[in-house]
Each structure stands twice: as C-alpha cells, then as structure tokens.
Chains A and B, each alone.
Chain A
Amino acid sequence: MYNYIQNLADNTLILGQRLAQWCGHGPFLEEDLALTNTSLDILGQAQMLLNLAAEIKGDGSTADDLAFLRDAIGFKNVILVEQPNGDFAHTMLRQYFMDVYHVHLYTILSGSSNQSLAEIAEKSLKEVTYHLERSQLWMQRLAHGTKESIDRLQNALNELWHYTHELFEESEELDDLVEQGIAADPIHLKIHWEADVKEWLASTALTIPKTGWKATGGLNGHHSEYLGLMLCEMQFLQRAYPDCEW
C-alpha cells in the first residue's frame, strides 16, 4: 500500500511544484491567481497523502522527509506531471488530463476500505471537481479560440498524449489493493478517463498523435531528466542545511 499512496502523493507534489512555477507569471491577473490557487490545493493534497504514506512507512519519517529527502528513484509519480510547464496550452492540457483523472480517482477512493484514504479523497474531490470545471473551460476556449490557440493546443497534445498511458498502468501489487477495496481499478479509470477526454476531443478539430511510443517507468522510479532538476530546486535548503527547523 505504501507504493500506491506514494504514487498518488508524488503525482500531486510534483504537479503542484510545477504549477507553483507560474506564480507571478500568469497570462493575466485572474489566471495568475487561479494557477497559484490550483497549485495550493494540489500541494495540500500532497501533504495529506504524504502524511498517510509516512504513517504507513512507520519508521519515524515525516511527510517533509519524504518530500525533501528522497532522490529521484524514490519518487513514484507519473512522468506526465514532471514535464515542463511549456506555454499555457501545455500547462492547461496537462492540468485537464490530471483533473479528469483525479475526479474519477477520488470519486472511487471516497469509498475506499482504507478510512484515511477515503477521507483524503472525499476532501480532495471537492477541489478537483472545481479544477476540472476550470480546465474544461480552458480546453473549450483554446480549442475554439484563435488559429494560434488551436495550433498551440495541438502541439501540446502531440507532446503530452504519450505520457497519459502511465496513469493506468497495472501491477500485481495494485491488483491486490483493488481486490481489498483500497485502491481504484486502473482499467476502470482508463475507460472513464478516455471516454471523457475523447468526447471532448471529438468536439474539436484536434487529433490524437499516432506513434507507438508510450512513456513508462515513473512508477518504478525511472523518470525523465526533468525530475532530478526539479528536486535540486525543491530540496535545496533541506540538503544544504540538514537537520534544521524551518
């Protein structure tokens, strides 16, 4: 179960960290606020999930230890969330993919047989439902806005699509957790996620890119080159000045 919670926690931690890079640099003031606010919600989810992971680990580690003292190989997030922000179309498409995923995930996990996980999911579901409303609206605006916005969104889709498969990777360990009613079934998640995303894509002129390549490895700690650099930045103070109180 520790690996599963770590995967959920790291997805939110790394996505929140990426979104925080927009702080002060949004395309206009309201959107700057929305990006920061989304980052704040998602990092709040990361904190709750890391607390739960630390509790399960049971060796005295804290959520901060897990966030700031693990190396890249210890991180179990999908590679999608560590992709650079790119332009606003990249950031919002990644966000839309993750929002659709999180809404379905937390809906199922609200009924998890693990009480702590169910509580976190229930609280988080309210937030991600609102995030999805916003990212859906942006997908409409960008997909039906100007030629430039459509081109930029298509570019983002070409780059990011191959990273989405990793959200639904199966494993024996995960199968066991699904059977115990703790985790969400990745096959079920994939069906619902694809139905939503493809329904939206069908209403646009966007096309899903064709290539055989699919990102994989994040769940085993094998990431893109970007994660190591993100951790250098995020973990700097804890690494340079160990054992301090902040």
Chain B
Amino acid sequence: MYSQGLRDSAAGDEPVELLAAFQARIDKEEKIEPRDWMPAAYRKTLIRQISQHAHSEIVGQLPEANWVTRAPTLKRKLILLAKIQDEAGHGLYLYSAAETLGESRKKMYDDLLSGKAKYSSIFNYPTLNWADIGAVGWLVDGAAIMNQVALCRTSYGPYSRSMVRICKEESFHQRQGYEIMVKMAHGTAQQKAMAQDAINRFWWPALMMFGPSDKDSPHSSQSMKWKIKRFSNDDLRQKFIDATVPQAEYLGLTIPDKHLKLDDATGSYTHGEIDWKEFVNVIKGNGPCNQQRMAARIKAHKDGAWVREAAEAYAKKLQNSKDNKKEVA
C-alpha cells in the first residue's frame, strides 16, 4: 500500500532541489500527502510521533478502565465507557495515519510490546481514587488538547485530519473530567480530599506531558521547520498552566507548586522547576506503573493470539470455498 510514497532516498543523499521544493511547499502551508515525495527524516519523525501517539491512546485505556467497574453511578459508568472507547478509536485512526507512511500496524505494535517504542509518560501513573478519573479528563486530556489543537495544522495531511476529529472528542473528555472535579471539590469533605489528592499527584506529571524543556528537546527545531510541530513544548506548557490555574481556583483546590505566581506584567503564571529526573526515569521505564501497563498489554495480546488465528483460519476457509465455487462455475 502507498508504496509510491516510499520512493524518497535515504537521509543524507537526498537531492537539494527536492529538499528545497519540499520546504517551499511547507512554507506555503501546503499539506503533504502520502504519495508525495518527502525527506526520509520527515517520514521517520512522523512515524515515530504518530505511532507514539497511537500507543499512548491504547495504553491510556488502562488507567481509566481501572475505574469502569467501580464508577459511582450509571451515568458516570456510561460516560467513562464511551470515553475510553473514543480513546481506543483514536488509536485506530492514528495507526491508520501512520500506515500511510508505509509502516505496518503489526510492526508498530510489536515495537510497543517489545518496549522499543514509547508512549506518553502520564499513563505510567496509577488512578487511585475516583477523583483521579476527573483529574485524567481535566488535566491529562486538557494537556493533550493543547498539543493536539496545535497538531490540527500540522503539515502531514492524514495526521492533521485525524487530529481535527480527535480534538472534537477530546474537548468532550476534558469537560466530563472537569465536571467530575466540580462534583468532588464541591461535595463532602471526603470527596474534596480525594479531589485534592488527585491534583497533588497529577499536576506535575500533566506538565511533563508537554515533553522536555525547549533547550533539551532533541527533535524540536527540525520539527518546527517542517511544521510537524507548530509551537514549542514550553509555549504549550505555559498556555496550559495559564488556562488551568483559574479552573483550579474555581474548584477551591490547591495546585501543588508553592512557586506558582501570577506575573501581572505578562498575565502569565510563573511556576516552580519541573522534576526532570522523574520525567526521564518514567520514560526509561521506571515509573510506578510501567511494568504493570506493559504486562497488561502483552497479556491481552498473548491471550488473544488464538482468537486472531481462528479468525484468520476461518477467513481463509471462506476464501477457499469461494475460489472453489468459482472454479466449478
């Protein structure tokens, strides 16, 4: 599929004219489509980014699924199920978007299961009380939206289009999360304590979702030039903080950062230093739930092997019987 799109040369020996023409298209805000020529490094960057994004959606089902069977009301259970289903659907679009670049879903999935491919560090944190489901929607999906709204204008067509649809659903997710937080923060003292505990644990990991600080972001500058990324990690993080702090104030919850302060001159909040050691550690596989999340994905894949084999065997039998009928005819 899309093999035409694979004719670009290896990185380093690409004709200067092609590279210049490619950059000119990007500069004119033209979308790059699967069959278009593209630099090998552009393709590689996109496969890495889109597949990581897809993996995040799939692994991200797990911390929320942890509360589906314990959701406190029928309405909450239905909303949470619908939301997780959306996330799995996002995984599907994104794998499809990455496939247009010539990478198979099987290869991407094998890379996830072998630990070669990464997914968002946030999903390696546990959901310990019901307010965490609120915090995941409000903070985690809120942070994801900041990133993804920017990606709606990314230069690669299929990625950009999938983001438009995903963003619509994510904004619903963010709202339902905030609604849970409102109920919890304005509920009984015990509910409020759960809400505060949730923000205490999720605030910093949510800020880490934007990736390393600009000065330490290895892929950023080329990605900005190719308009894969439209804003820097730090800019998006700042935008998120500025939007979220007033929401926390409305909830009457304390953000766990004693250095957080409104700068009257800029209208933005200054914040304390992010614990980048923790970020690197979680990315490396040493977060509280890395092992558990991967074990769950590997188990599902392994337990499902006989199901996939049966479906394939049946499809083959059907095909054979169709072929035989054709021959007889």
Name the A residues within 8 Å of B317 (CB-CB). 144
Report the bound CA distance from A233 to B188 in whole Å.
22
Separation in Å of the A220 CB from the closest CB of chain B? 24
Name the B residues within 8 Å of A23 (CB-CB). 61, 65, 68, 81, 84
**Which of A97-105, A189-197, A238-246 touches B?**
A238-246
Binary interface profile of B, 18-42, with partner A (CB < 8 Å = 1, else 0)? 0000000000000000000000000
B183 at the interface (CB under 8 A from A): yes
Name the A residues within 8 Å of B180 (CB-CB). 246
Most chain A CB inside 10 Å of its own CB: which residue of B81, B130, B183: B81
Report the bound CA distance from A245 to B75 in whole Å.
12
- The reply to whether B314 and A145 contact each other, CB–CB distance below 8 Å, is yes
Name the A residues within 8 Å of B72 (CB-CB). 68, 237-238, 244, 246
Name the B residues within 8 Å of A39 (CB-CB). 81
Chain B contact-residue range equals 35 or more
A219 at the interface (CB under 8 A from B): no
B6 at the interface (CB under 8 A from A): no
Contact partner of A40 (CB less than 8 A), chosen from B82, B308, B311, is B82
Name the B residues within 8 Å of A88 (CB-CB). 303-304, 307
Interface residues on chain A, number (Cβ under 8 Å): 47
- The reply to whether B187 and A245 contact each other, CB–CB distance below 8 Å, is yes
- The reply to whether A31 and B307 contact each other, CB–CB distance below 8 Å, is yes
Given the known A-B contacts A24-B84, A32-B88, are A43 and B74 also in contact in the complex, defined by CB atoms under 8 Å? Answer: yes
Name the B residues within 8 Å of A115 (CB-CB). none
Separation in Å of the B188 CB from the closest CB of chain A? 6
Separation in Å of the B274 CB from the closest CB of chain A? 29
Report the bound CA distance from A63 to B191 in whole Å.
22
Report the bound CA distance from A40 to B299 in whole Å.
24
Separation in Å of the B70 CB from the closest CB of chain A? 5
- The reply to whether A29 and B91 contact each other, CB–CB distance below 8 Å, is yes
Interchain Cβ contacts within 8 Å, total number: 135
Report the bound CA distance from A50 to B75 in whole Å.
12
- The reply to whether A24 and B78 contact each other, CB–CB distance below 8 Å, is no
Report the bound CA distance from A124 to B322 in whole Å.
35
B250 at the interface (CB under 8 A from A): no
For B67, the closest partner residue in chain A by CB is A237
For B54, the closest partner residue in chain A by CB is A29
B310 at the interface (CB under 8 A from A): yes
For B305, the closest partner residue in chain A by CB is A27
Within 8 A of B (CB), among A92-149: 140-142, 144-146, 148-149
Report the bound CA distance from A64 to B75 in whole Å.
9
Separation in Å of the B185 CB from the closest CB of chain A? 12
Report the bound CA distance from A21 to B300 in whole Å.
12
Given the known A-B contacts A24-B296, A246-B76, are A234 and B307 also in contact in the complex, defined by CB atoms under 8 Å? Answer: no
B3 at the interface (CB under 8 A from A): no
Separation in Å of the A162 CB from the closest CB of chain B? 25
B114 at the interface (CB under 8 A from A): no
Name the B residues within 8 Å of A21 (CB-CB). 68-69
Within 8 A of A (CB), among B88-134: 88-89, 91-92, 95, 130
Given contacts A25-B296, A27-B305, A244-B72, could you give 7 more A-B pairs where the C-beta distance is less than 8 Å?
A26-B304, A28-B308, A30-B92, A32-B61, A40-B81, A145-B310, A237-B71
22 A-B contacts (beta carbon < 8 Å): A24-B62, A24-B296, A25-B300, A27-B300, A28-B304, A32-B300, A33-B89, A36-B88, A40-B85, A47-B74, A47-B78, A64-B73, A88-B303, A88-B304, A141-B311, A144-B317, A149-B313, A238-B73, A244-B190, A244-B191, A246-B130, A246-B183
B interface vs A, CB < 8 Å?
A: 58, 61-62, 65, 68-78, 81-82, 84-85, 88-89, 91-92, 95, 130, 180, 183, 187-188, 190-191, 296, 299-300, 303-311, 313-314, 317
User: What 9 A-B pairs have minimum CB-CB distances, sorted nearest first?
Assistant: A27-B304, A145-B310, A149-B310, A24-B61, A27-B307, A237-B72, A24-B65, A246-B72, A23-B65
